Structure 1
């Protein structure tokens, strides 16, 4: 190699190094920009999955209430078992807060009011336990979410029941007593998202209340033990 050629290569070496670095940086930039949408989508998808059900909820529901009333009447003629059952419609309103603490598990607290329009249990010469029933309560919920669009749950909590109990003896009215009792509520259900904020749900709940004795007069008393089995469909909004 001639001295001239060697000098030419030596003098252009910095330029060659600069061009190589520029090409390398350009490749890195293009690769990073191409990967950015995928990284952003993955991060957003992970966040949506983990927190899809976290937030406050308000909703309404309607369904069927099956009512079982073991009822014993003690009057001047002795004790009579007049236990009956009925099925009618029910409606509810609820407010809740859920927190999804892993990709698949969540917990929640819910407050609810329910109106059950069950038929009256009627005995024309003894006692009438009239519906509707009013229930107020709260539950703690544990849910499992297979995906970010739906979850299944179990719940349990206390429930307060109020109903009226008019009584008669020999077709003579003895007035009306309010029957109130604290019991429990256990249930299973599922929730399906319809959009970012709206969802639909279905649940079945059992309500149990211990017995209570009502004295209508000196000769007429009733012993009541209320049990309810409800199936409800809900529509809700998550904030």
Structure 2
């Protein structure tokens, strides 16, 4: 999956999104293009406006976790979900609220854990098909070892069994492999691993450009990026499953 932040979409607009869609959909393996953490109406309107003109994200996240109540979250998300569905766009939502912030996201200091008891009502109310729970995860670096509420994931998996609702984990910076595996075993099927691939790419490019031509520096950094992606495909058990 290729994920774009709203600031990236706002900068590149239709031509850049179309470039990403072409690269993803013409690849030899299935790749989707996702808009992450769209919180502002202008970004959501831009994404859906592009869809109206045939430039369509595969999925978007309508992030209304800043709302004061779950009911307000639903009321914000539902109209966008209904519009997105017309274009075959899968929608992700967040129940609860993650602490932290990164890459243009709102800085959140008042985290709120997801209540599994509200899961069915929330997903039915929004009409979304992907849920990002708050289980003690956060955006940005963990200052102490994370303590995830795995029981929340298990309860949500049980709640949505057979309904086609997917669970996504945000806030994966620095997590140990065993914690990823535990989350998968309990029901997580999508992870956001942006910095795991981006940071080594930037570090490699910054070092390489000091002594190598630009194309060579890009190639070296891209190889590092690809190795990071390959490692996580192996870790998540998704490697070699493109034809399944």
TM-score class, shorter-chain normalisation, is under 0.3
Which has the larger share of helix?
2
CA radius of gyration, larger in: 1
Which protein has the bigger strand share?
1
Q: Identify which of structures 1 and 2 has the higher relative contact order when contacts are C-alpha pairs closer than 8 Å and 6+ apart.
A: 1
TM-score by length of 2: 0.20
